[in-house]
Amino acid sequence: MDFATAVRVLERTAAESVSARFPGRLDRMRALLGHLDNPQRRFKSIHVGGTAGKGSTGTMCAAILQAAGFTVGLHTKPHLNAVTERARINMIPIAEEAFAEVFSDMLPALESMRASDWGMPSYFELLVALSFAYFARERVDVAVIEVGVGGNLDGTNVVHPLVSVITNVGMDHRDVLGETLEEIALDKSGIIKHGVPIVTAAEQPEVLGIIAEAAAKAQAPLLIVKDSARIDSSLGPSPYSQTVEVGTPAGSYRFELPLIGQFQVTNAATAILACEQVRPQLHFTPADVAQALASLSLPGRTEYYPSGPPVLFDVAHNAEKALALRRAIEQHFPGRRLIFVVAIAEEKDVPAMFEAWRDLPAHFIFTTFDVSHRRSRHARNLCNIAEQMGLIARAVDDPLEALGVARRMAKGSDLVVVTGSTFLVGMLRAWFLDNVESARHAPAPAT
């Protein structure tokens, strides 16, 4: 089987949003991994959940341990441009040839699943299993595993990690996890394991109460970031970086963070505390932290390009991330006029996201995305909701045309912000790098 065939098989499996509502999905995941000889038991792991920031925090954990000399697997979702991004070792995505090889090795297991009462695993489950099999095959020292949705029944919740992380808890995925903050917090607390330290940056009293109760029942040491770390930050050498100091009972860290937004500072402190819990098995130093975080790359996460006009790419696909994006813009680009290019998946809480952006000096261009396993809100529908809330908006169905309109509208110091769905950000970022950034860095023609 070649890579293209493997991808076609994947895309014929159940949509992730449909699979998330299947109550027996964790048992199905265990059955699949059992057919693969349980690769998740053959490497150490760090498990990272939460509503927002879990991908960034997980990547920071992986970067710190890689800087310390370890071979580190990293599973995150969703991918920005290529499905191979979901299984990385030392930040390098799995090669297409290796992807096809591992997937081919999984085919007997898939046939056994198809013939069983469980049926075929979902798209997400297959990619998690492939990541586990790849990490086991390559004998990584540790793998950082990002939760998909929730925690309790998520397909990743089969690992027994060295440390668990819940970055925060918000109101995303209510159709799957529950209608209240407490219900969602209870589901996310399902990743807490007996005796395994749990680190959280959550701050709401009702959420912390639920996490603390789950930790106590599991006899799991609980570290709350706001209580366990002293965090200071200021603008860095450029307006689009930050100088950060983090102090914990176990150490002091100072580093330059090439990312904007206070939420990324919190993510960095969370990652440091998580890594401190594994230091007896995976030793690192403050110098490793400084090296890792100073050179960190998070494509599509508050990623700024000083082009003409300047563009900021940020995957803000729920209300918590939308508010974090607003605060980052206000901190680093005060007073700038903004032109947003936005597409949002059908199941998201659109009014809550728009509330986070209300009163910004912004014009909104709403558009769509087209992928096999997600449905996009219609641009006109988004525009109608926005206008009812007092936002200045227009609908442009084609994403490339929407970006073109935004770039033509931008004058002077105006900032174009591409945000919302991962699928929109990934597609427009790839086009931008190929057609705008590449042109900026092309050699001058010979004279």
Q: Rounded distance, CA 342 to CA 344, Å?
A: 7
Is 336:306 a contact under the CB 8 Å cutoff?
A: no
Among 190, 272, 282, 185, which residue's Cα sits nearest to residue 223?
272
Q: Which CATH class is domain 3-294?
A: alpha beta
Give the pLDDT confidence score for residue 18 in this predicted structure: 54
Quote the crossing angle between the two packed helices 25-35 and 96-115, to the nearest 10°.
110
CATH number of the structural domain 303-441: 3.90.190.20
Q: Rounded distance, CA 225 to CA 202, Å?
A: 8
Q: Is the pLDDT of residue 19 over 60?
A: no
Environment class of 139 (CB within 10 Å of its CB; exposed 0-12, middle 13-18, buried 19+)? exposed
CA angle in degrees (0–180, nearest 5) for 417-420-423? 110
Give the pLDDT confidence score for residue 149 in this predicted structure: 87
Mean pLDDT along residues 388-396: 97
Give the pLDDT confidence score for residue 421 in this predicted structure: 95
pLDDT in tens, 336-359: 999 999 999 998 899 999 999 999
pLDDT in tens, 280-317: 999 999 999 999 999 998 999 999 999 889 999 999 98
Q: Break the chain into its structural domains and give their ranges.
A: 3-294, 303-441
Mean pLDDT along residues 419-424: 96
